[in-house]
Structure 1
Amino acid sequence: MKHLLALFALLLVSMTSFAEVIILNGVYQGRDIYIQNPFSPDGVGFCVFEVLVNGETTSDEINSSAFSIDLTLFQLKIGDPVEVVIRSKADCGPKVINPDAIQPLSTFEVSDIHVDDENILRWTTTKEQGALPFVVEQFKWNKWVKMGEVTGEGDNGPNEYMFKIRLNAGENTFRVRQTDMDGTRTSDRVMIVSNTEEVTIAKTKVDDAISFSRETQYEVFDEYGSLVAQGFGQSVDMSEISKGRYYVNYGRKFGEIITKR
């Protein structure tokens, strides 16, 4: 038995030493994958000896210095998951020319976006091509501030999403966006007016804490523009922060000055 196990282990090592594997995972986007396929170092044939798509061996002609993997042969729909396995000889380097061919794209369209009576941001999408996170942002303090993320379904839809938001007094503008591998950003936005009471700071000269009139999202910067505190709550612990002047973003307020004594 020991001899058989040793023989099996030797055989396994021998098999793996003669093969290298490239694995690509993504979603079908209607595009072929192109491979640069050099000659084998031993002078016999080319590097790649097998290509599998979702576990099935392709019928593509791979005995060439360059070839394409035709994904249309597998009856895939846009957005379907794809796994491509490229097996090649050891010490041989095939190159995938366009690995982004199966990466998710930010192509969604919003058919409806609104905020309901319970302060839930709801949106409905179509034409998604692969699962990408939706980033929910609110425009305040002269910039877009990230509130959270929702995982996209990645198919043609329609797909419905929701995210709990917090409203400031007056005008509130939110957007949902995606960014894909190419850096392409797609977004849509909605504006809502709230009658919520304006948040205020109790004192502009503090010892240990900044206190707000109610819970709010906040940022605190020092005189050099460095962020020293951020979060959500009704107070900010300043006990470990040096004395001096600070600038506070909160609610709809931007750059309000407080002094730590």
Structure 2
Amino acid sequence: MLKYWWILILLFTAQMLKAQTDTISISGMFYHTNVYVYNPSVADSFSVQSIIINNDTITHELEANGIELDLSTYEMKEGDKVSIQVIYYAGNYAPVIVNPQALMPPVKFRISKPKYSKDKELKWLVRGVPGDYPIVVEQYKWNAWKTVATIDPIDTVANNLYRVKIQPHSGKNIYRVKSHNIKGEEIVSRESIFSDSKTSKVNIQNKKFTDEIILSSKTDYEIYDLHGNLNQSGFDRYIKISELTKGKYLLFFDNQIQEFKKK
């Protein structure tokens, strides 16, 4: 009989402890980012009892170690005030709000002006959180912006140094870097303008164009017909043109555009 009473006392004590709760609270503003809560558990018992978001209480779908709070379901606008209270059983391990910074103003995504180094590298910094888009390096040549490199971004709020090898042409070079922020808005750096003293002007060596075009050094090139159709492109000194039909073409090379006649 005594043993029976001890069991009842232990069960009653356990229920009393479970009935006692504590609260973790954060507040801030809505910036289109979900909040994540780590919910500790022992066996089948989870720590979180309920969650209150701006006076709306959630008691369902809480029996998981990871809880995602989708704030967009509350029809809030960016900058609206948000208050979150996580109520948990005091006898259990305390839950953790994994990303409280979600209610803080995001660091504005910026790309610094690229800088050119003597080892033919373009370097720049990014700050803030980029969107789910690549970082694109462009060079302005032949009267248009050309993509020369594509890089996967690093998702972080710290400064990050990026670098990429490039092939500058003779004369004035213009480069820029662009990507998108988390809203999908395009972010473009200031233009980097420089000249590389070690890069000489490229000249055409031959005067008749039957099988190939010979340049003074390797360079990027593109060949278009007079209707604007791209026929060939590459990076070389010797450009094979034997398969081109006879006629006039435009050769884009180095920082120049010249017309030639295939015979």
TM > 0.5 between the two? yes
Larger Rg belongs to: 2
Please, what is the CA RMSD of the aligned residues? 3.4
Structure 1 contact 123–162 (Cα < 8 Å) conserved: yes
In the TM superposition, what are the counterparts of 1:81-160 in structure 2 within 5 Å?
A: 108-111=109-112, 113-160=114-161
1:251 equivalent to 2:254? Answer yes
Which residue of structure 2 lines up, in the alignment, with residue 82 of structure 1? none
User: Which deviations, in whole Å up to 9, do the C-alpha atoms of 1:183-230 show, x marking residues without a partner?
Assistant: 522111211112221011123531111221111111110121100011
**Shift in Å at residue 56 of structure 1?**
2.4
Return the alpha-carbon distance in structure 1 between the equivalents of residues 137 and 107 of structure 2.
15
Alignment partner, residue 56 of structure 1: 66
In 1, the alpha carbon distance for the partners of 2:61 and 2:238 equals 59
Aligned twin of 2:99:
76
Q: Distance in 1 between matches of 2:153 and 2:161?
A: 9
- Specify the alignment match of 1:239 in structure 2: 242
Is this contact kept in 1: 2:109–2:181, CA < 8 A? no
Secondary structure of 1:169's counterpart equals coil
Taking a change above 3 Å as real, the CA distance of residues 191 and 204 of structure 1, as seen in their structure-2 partners, is: same
Do the aligned partners of residues 67 and 128 (structure 1) sit closer, same or farther apart at CA in structure 2, a change above 3 Å counting? closer
Q: Contact between 2:201 and 2:254, CA under 8 Å: does it hold in 1? A: yes
Q: Structure 1 pair 173/260, CA: closer, same or farther in 2 (3 Å)?
A: same
Q: 3-state DSSP class of the match of 2:32?
A: coil
Residue of 186, 209, 212 corresponding to 1:209:
212
Which residue type is aligned with residue 244 of structure 2? I
2:188 maps to 187
| In structure 1, C-alpha distance between the alignment counterparts of 2:67 and 2:192, rounded to whole Å | 48
Alignment TM-score, normalising by the size of structure 2: 0.60
User: Could you tell me how far apart the structure 1 residues matched to 2:61 and 2:118 are?
Assistant: 53
Q: Is the 8 A contact 1:51 1:58 kept in 2?
A: no
Q: Residue 262 of structure 2 corresponds to which residue in structure 1? A: 260
- TM-score, normalised via structure 1 length: 0.61
Unaligned runs of 5+ residues in structure 1 are: 1-28, 34-49, 80-104
Contact in 2 for aligned 1:78/1:155 (Cα 8 Å): no
1:26-67, Cα deviation, whole Å (9 max, x unpaired):
xxx93157xxxxxxxxxxxxxxxx879x97245789xxxx75
Asked if the contact 2:114/2:177 (under 8 Å) is kept, the reply is: no
Counterpart residue number, 1:161: 162
Q: Point out where structure 2 has 5 or more consecutive residues left out of the alignment.
A: 1-29, 35-59, 77-81, 87-96
- Cα distance in 1 for partners of 2:165, 2:133 equals 19
Task: Count the aligned residue pairs.
Answer: 186
